[in-house]
Structure 1
Amino acid sequence: MLTGSYDLFMVFISFCVAVLASYTALDLSGRVATSKKNAVPFWICGGALAMGIGIWSMHFVGMLAFSLPIPMGYDLTITLLSLALAIIASGFALWMVAQPEMPWTHLLIGAVALGAGIAAMHYLGMYALLMQPGIVYDPLLVGLSLVIAVIASASALLIAFRLRRNTAYVKAWRMGASLVMGGAIIGMHYTGMAAAGFPEGSFCAAAIDGLDNNWLASLVIVVTLAVLGIALLTSVLDAKMELRTDALSSSLAEANKELTHLALHDNLTKLPNRLLLEDRIEQSMQKVKRNGGIFTLMFLDLDGFKPINDAFGHHVGDKLLEQVGQRLTQRLRATDTLARVGGDEFVLLAEVDNATDASNIAKQIIDLVNQPFQVGEQELRVSTSLGIVMYPADGADQQELLMNADAAMYHAKASGKNDFSFFNTTMNAGALAQLNLLQDLRRALQQDEFVLYYQPKFAANGGQIVGAEALIRWRHPTRGLLAPGAFIGLAEKSGLIVEIDSWVLKQACQQMGEWYAEGYLDWCVAVNVSALQLSQPRFVDSVQAALEQNALPAKHLIIEITETMAMNDVDASIKVLERLANIGVGVSIDDFGSGHSSLLYLKNLPVNELKIDRGFVNELQHGAADEAIISAIVDLGQALGLRIVAEGVETAEQQAFLSSMKCDVLQGFLLGHPLPAEDFIGKLAEKRTAS
């Protein structure tokens, strides 16, 4: 027999290639297992190519490490066929690993098939030498190499299947497993090489026209390393991309969840909002239609909340609303839905068996709300009025149910508050009237149904006119001329007051601009502004624009706000009023004495005048208390350098007293009724002539 020898360096290289191919196989098996379904075929095909080249390269480098004392070469066709076998076997292995389960029977069948494929690749590669007369094999060693191939294949499949998921320390485990698998593959290869014998006088027929092993080793190693490197790099990059995609998907899912929660819950109390409440009402209605039964809706409104909000500010009011929501939620049943649908309005949806159950729940709510609330250092007390409807008796849809519950709540409030009322059809008239009035109010803005009346204001000393207060009236198409008391409250509740206030401001500035152009240079026009309008970010800009459009100097406009408005959020009020003062607009505190002013804040407010509340003027004839209050207000105003205006003057006695108190300006029906602009100057001229 011819004696062969091995290049130990090339043997070491073959081992390294085997380990690298094993690691690539394990990594690619992980990509196959974790990829989306439509990407699996591409990873199997690409992985089979990379793994097949790696396994075949190890075998071929191992053969190139072997030399005989004769020229050697390899037949190209047979060599490529052995490469194809390696690729097919690798593809089969990846397909096995991609399966969701691998029972022992499948593992055994797969190991035999894969081992046979690798052995076939090896012995076909040996056959590529085209040795003459032929290679003599030791049957025992050949059998041992086949056993090693099957065991190595079984180990490789089992390890790849177990390490295909990205668990903790998976890379370290894959590296260790690669060393074991590489050693097993090398063991099979060199056992197969040891089984081969070459008789004396043999020659290699492929040495003439086949591949020359002098340069083939370098080419195979370079190509293999490039293919395996690209495969690994692609796998790593894809894994990172998948992790980023998963992280992004997770973040988007979390963001969508948060946005959904925000869209369906009240920002302040975190309770369900009207949108979520309507959805749950709809679900409850469908449930009743399918299975029978009843449920109740209760409309809750807090009694006494507005005075607390006005006296202590919005931040205290908000804290109180939060505590009300928390207290009710903790004590109600898990199946109940409590929603906040507006300012201090809540709605409860609850399954009940009868009206008695609804009454018991309503009593429990009233008792809970009646208990004091601790907000900071303040102990606050409120009560609640509830309106109750039952489905299906009191409404066919959710809008009707809510409207009827609201009507029942107003009935409870009108009946003395801190109680509940069940809905009946007689309550609908008032609610329907309010709804119709709101529709008319929206139409009035579009069809220019509002008009301004002007009530004159006179100097207390001398009686000359100093200006007028602009007062809105509504020329309703069917109800006639309506005073502000008939619709301003509804406008404030609906938010339409902002548009109405803007219209009043523009009209008043336009009229005062005309009077100014006609020579009434000492007059001022006063315009009442709501709290909602005062809080608008561009309110001061709109005031300045109205003045500029009508060429009206700013000092001829007075903005009137109530004492309660000024004290509600003092810091915010000061900022707005300072901006008005900076452009020259006068500011008046209306209804002074009726609220809860702090003198510490009042002295810092940039205001020009105080208007004594008409309630004190009306009661002058009934006792000395109101005289003392008016005297104190006048003294306070004069000490602060403010102009004092008294409104509601209806008798000569009132006029005389207020003049003696050194009020600056008087206003009231005794002196002049509110008039349309076109009648204002003419009526005043008649009054002067008559007097």
Structure 2
Amino acid sequence: MAEINHFEYGWITPALSYALSVLGSFLGLICAGRIRTAATGGQRAWWGILAAFAIGGTAIWTMHFMAMLGFAVDGTRIRYDVPITAASAGIAVVAVGIGLAIAGTGRVSAPRILAGGLFTGAGVAVMHYAGMAAMRLNGRLGYDQPRVVASAVIAVVAATVALWLAVTVRRALAITASALVMGVAVNGMHFTGMSALSVHLHDTEREVAGAEVGTLLVPIVLAVVFGVVGLVYALLAAPTDEDRAATAYLDARRGTGAAPVPAGPAATPDPVGLRARSTLARPGTPFPSRRDRAPR
């Protein structure tokens, strides 16, 4: 049995994987909160897709790949099958999207959240072990069944909690705390599943086919950067509650035939009466009499 190192580069890879899971969870929770306040079915679908990409793509799958950068096996190099790796990313996004569709539409209820969490958690577990199956090395992979079951249970519990938070949390502080908790749950599921792995090297050296980690790292990092920027832009460009209220007010005034009240020039502060003094000092302005200047 070969010796396995899950932290070849020390604390860097687990720290980055946790940061990615928190960032994806934070953006995903914000997008999920917009689902229930959306005015049309198209808007709900749009925010659901963005939330699925944020949670499934960034918080779960990208976290998984970043943690795998620190995975090493003595005596063999590791490569990855690109189609299976891409399929594992699609599984994560689709699983989260379906879970949000189950739990986040209609009336919020415990059966909906449990059903969505069960489906999403199973999808996350499939994603994890599909990503492991994409590894190519000079050896055979083995798994400890109890730990595999434990990782699947953690995935279902984490997904259920994530969906519950997605449909109930609204305040910024609560969203931040929830993202931190979700980051712990996602990383806990990953490293529990990784602890179940064992590698038995082949007796003879064999050619290892597939893409190296460095080859996949650049496109994945670019995808994450552009994806996060796109999510932030979508959130900033979306109208707020104040914008919708102002639009409704203007529409109501137009409907009654009343002209919108024009906004006058902003009044500048005049704490010591400079504006009044300048008025008195204009040419042609009569100087007030003693009686007018007397205090009343």
Q: Normalised by the shorter chain, which TM-score bucket?
A: 0.7 to 0.9
8 Å CA contact 1:119, 1:146 repeated in 2: yes
1:65 and 2:64 are equivalent in the alignment:
no
Aligned to 2:252: 253
Question: How far 1:111 sits from its partner (Å)?
Answer: 1.3
8 Å CA contact 1:29, 1:97 repeated in 2: no
- Which residue, out of 104, 107, 111, partners 1:105? 111
What is the rounded CA distance, in whole Å, between the counterparts of 1:187 and 1:36 in structure 2? Answer: 37
- Which residue, out of 7, 24, 29, partners 1:26? 29
Aligned to 2:184: 183
Question: How far 1:156 sits from its partner (Å)?
Answer: 0.2
The SS at the match of 1:36 is coil
Structure 2: runs of 5+ lacking an equivalent: 260-296
What is the rounded CA distance, in whole Å, between the counterparts of 1:105 and 1:187 in structure 2? Answer: 25
What is the rounded CA distance, in whole Å, between the counterparts of 1:185 and 1:202 in structure 2? Answer: 36
The SS at the match of 1:108 is helix
| Amino acid paired to 1:59 | H
Q: What is the alpha-carbon root mean square deviation over aligned residues? A: 2.5
8 Å CA contact 1:130, 1:204 repeated in 2: no
| Amino acid paired to 1:29 | A
| Amino acid paired to 2:185 | A
1:74 and 2:84 are equivalent in the alignment:
no
Please list the CA deviations of residues 92-140 of structure 1 after superposition, one character each: whole Å capped at 9, or x if unmatched. 1331343132322222221111110000000000000144552111111
What is the rounded CA distance, in whole Å, between the counterparts of 2:205 and 2:210 in structure 1? Answer: 10
Aligned to 2:293: none
Structure 1: runs of 5+ lacking an equivalent: 261-691
The SS at the match of 1:153 is helix
| Amino acid paired to 1:197 | S
What is the rounded CA distance, in whole Å, between the counterparts of 1:88 and 1:36 in structure 2? Answer: 24
Q: Would you identify which runs of 4 or more consecutive aligned residues in structure 1 move more than 6 Å?
A: 202-205
Identity within the alignment, %: 28
Distance 1:32 1:90, change over 3 A: same
Aligned to 2:198: 197
- Which residue, out of 29, 33, 38, partners 1:35? 38
Distance 1:230 1:178, change over 3 A: same
Aligned to 2:123: 117
Which has more radius of gyration?
1
| Amino acid paired to 1:61 | M
8 Å CA contact 2:143, 2:198 repeated in 1: yes
Distance 1:98 1:107, change over 3 A: closer
What is the rounded CA distance, in whole Å, between the counterparts of 1:107 and 1:43 in structure 2? Answer: 18
Point out which structure has higher relative CO (alpha carbons under 8 A, 6+ apart).
2
1:157 and 2:156 are equivalent in the alignment:
no
> Between Structure 1 and Structure 2, which shows a larger proportion of strand residues?
1
Question: How far 1:256 sits from its partner (Å)?
Answer: 5.1
Aligned to 1:45: 49
8 Å CA contact 1:61, 1:221 repeated in 2: no
Relative to the length of structure 1, the TM-score reads 0.35
Please list the CA deviations of residues 224-270 of structure 1 after superposition, one character each: whole Å capped at 9, or x if unmatched. 13212311321232144x6423322124426756949xxxxxxxxxx
User: Any residues of structure 2 matched to 1:329-344 within 5 Å, and which?
Assistant: none
Question: How far 1:71 sits from its partner (Å)?
Answer: 1.0
| Amino acid paired to 1:188 | M
| Amino acid paired to 1:41 | A
Distance 1:162 1:3, change over 3 A: same
Aligned to 2:268: none
What is the rounded CA distance, in whole Å, between the counterparts of 1:60 and 1:219 in structure 2? Answer: 12
Distance 1:11 1:204, change over 3 A: farther
Please list the CA deviations of residues 391-413 of structure 1 after superposition, one character each: whole Å capped at 9, or x if unmatched. xxxxxxxxxxxxxxxxxxxxxxx
1:9 and 2:12 are equivalent in the alignment:
yes
User: Any residues of structure 2 matched to 1:495-506 within 5 Å, and which?
Assistant: none
User: Any residues of structure 2 matched to 1:608-647 within 5 Å, and which?
Assistant: none
8 Å CA contact 1:76, 1:211 repeated in 2: yes
